[in-house]
Amino acid sequence: MMAALLLLLLGCSSFPGLLTVQINQRPIIGILAQETLDLYRYGKTYIAAPYVKYLESAGCRVVPIRLNLTHEEYERIFHSINGILFPGGAGNLKTSAFAKAAKTFYELALKAFDAGDHFPIWGTCLGLQLLTMFTAGKDLLINTDTENIALPLNLTNAAASSKMFWDFPPDVYKALSTEPLTGNFHHFSISVQAFLEDEKLSKFYSILSTNNDRKSVEFVSTMEGIRYPFYGVQWHPEVNRFQWQQHKAFSHSPNAVQVSYFLADFFVNEARKNFHHFPSSEEEAAALIYNYSPRYVPTSDYIQIYFF
């Protein structure tokens, strides 16, 4: 009986008469572009290549989502992709084109989930900060001394049973809290105190880990939606496998690589629960990141960057 139930959950049809769980075998995840700052001569907006590699490595395709499109254009994209990633970077949480576009997808995902349409969102660094602001309705961030530092996570009691971490191998899960596997490159954070004191945030997200900056300020480092499939990390899992600058706190240990893979795999599997698709194969092909080539920029933080 237990074996049959397990096979059912895995979508196996070996037992006649058992219903199978449908999954999307060809998931496509959007990555939201950002305004270019110091490398403006290459293009007005960009996506760092490590985010593309991070998602593709777990078995999906990627669509770059341009800025300053109309609401109708963003809606069409939303109904064509299976999830979205808000990357880290720099930008105003309220006035930037990045923030405005991200809010559109956040609101569309909320409405869709309430109607039974599972659309996951992942926020890394600035992406997590945007998620907290959209949910709280205000900017609760504070300055923290967290630039270029690798840290072990202070996992909360909720982490072990969380959607994000429950399938981690025990040794990798343990390493998360004992080894400095998570690269932090941010100047702002949401403090644990501010998070818990805000009723909207504390009811919407579960804190999976916290950390302390160099001055012992405690901040939220990992969170996930209690009801909605929204996930945020203040740190950068993509760097463990795809960035190699020696002056940066990028952990490349075997456990660090495993953490990066399992998180990418988790989010791509969340996107497999969504069945949005492009109206035609031609429109799908035209939208994919394959139509662009990353530029090698050795002086940048990312080394390889897609510019638009």
Let me know if 236 is a catalytic residue.
yes
CB burial of residue 218 (10 Å; 0-12, 13-18, 19+) = middle
Nearest residue to 101 (alpha-carbon basis) of 87, 116, 113: 87
Contact between 8 and 18 under an 8 Å Cβ cutoff? The reply is yes
DSSP for residue 47: E
Let me know if 125 is a catalytic residue.
yes
Nearest residue to 307 (alpha-carbon basis) of 74, 29, 34: 34
From 12, 118, 186, 236, active-site residue? 236
**Who's near 285: CB < 8 A, 6+ residues apart?**
none
From 125, 186, 247, 277, active-site residue? 125
Residues in a beta bridge with 79:
none
Contact between 129 and 188 under an 8 Å Cβ cutoff? The reply is yes
H or E element in which residue 57 lies? none
Write out the catalytic residue numbers.
125, 236
